[in-house]
Amino acid sequence: MDRRLFGAALLALAVAVPARAGQPCEERPLAAHEVVLSMDLAQRTVQALEASGAQVALVSRAGQDVSRYRLRYSHMGIAVRDHPKGRWTVVHALNDCGSAVSGLYDEGMGNFFLTDLYRHETQLVIPGPALQEKLAKLAGTRTPVRLHEPKYNMLSYVYSTRYQNSNQWVLETLAAAAAPPGQVETRLEAQKWLRSIGFQPPTVEVPAAVRLGARMFRANVAFDDHPYERRMAGQIDTVSTDAVVRMVRMVDPQARTMTID
């Protein structure tokens, strides 16, 4: 993987002020026991990946409580093994401290989990060999960077390019890898291809009162990209980690999942 391709978009993540997908930043250092738990989870995740023989995988973390939406994990990245060093690097899009902006980050497994986790548990999705190879090749191109939209919306609509949430970047990058060569180079092309295979994410139910409060008090939440009728009915078709897993299962029967807890 040519990590230089992501260099311009990356920032160092400090323990005292962690960048978190869809969460406001707090000036609070992690407690010693939180650091120990996070690093232990990172180590066990790497061990599981090494034992699997994978070169590329999807890794999810529980950065916040999303159980009200019938979800368990809030954020996903693409983990790639660096062959010469045997190091696992996670590439993911992160919302900058509760703002309406995100950036692409490229960091080790330890940093990926070194944040204020709601639950010290992860889900791994290991694609079959063919999709792994395609993802590894894609990582060496400019396509993953082109597919990133810095205008962030935690609940962005799956078929709009106005905003993007962190998991949507993973979904569209996977679409670029899984589609026929050269067919997906832009977000619009990724979404066109997803429609062509009949992809529809699990719907998230968001009541009107919650929508209003979120829109008024959170810069990283918007609903104006969603179809009006669906939005008014509280039917939010956004991209969760579950949505990405659903897409992988549609296109890759060899993919498998595992939980590290």
Determine the pLDDT at residue 214. Answer: 57
187 pLDDT more than 80:
yes
Determine the pLDDT at residue 86. Answer: 76
118 pLDDT more than 90:
yes
Query: With the C-alpha atoms ordered 252, 253, 259, 260, is the resulting torsion angle positive or negative?
Result: negative
Determine the pLDDT at residue 68. Answer: 86
Determine the pLDDT at residue 212. Answer: 59
Determine the pLDDT at residue 219. Answer: 76
Integer Cα distance of 141 and 57 in angstroms: 18
Determine the pLDDT at residue 226. Answer: 95
Determine the pLDDT at residue 119. Answer: 95
21 pLDDT more than 70:
no
Determine the pLDDT at residue 135. Answer: 95
Orientation of helix 129-139 relative to helix 166-178, angle to 10°: 110
Q: Tell me the CA distances in angstroms from 106 to 8, 11, 74, 94, 229, one per residue in order.
A: 11, 9, 18, 10, 38
82 pLDDT more than 90:
no
| 206 close to 236: Cβ distance less than 8 angstroms | yes
At 22, is the pLDDT very low, low, confident or very high (cuts 50, 70, 90)? very low
pLDDT above 70 covers what percent of the chain? 84
Question: Per-residue pLDDT averaged across 75-88, rounded?
Answer: 87
The class of domain 3-260 in CATH terms is alpha beta
Q: What is the pTM of this model?
A: 0.88
**Chain mean pLDDT for the chain:** 87
Structure tokens at 140: 């060496």
46 pLDDT more than 50:
yes
Higher pLDDT, 88 or 206: 88
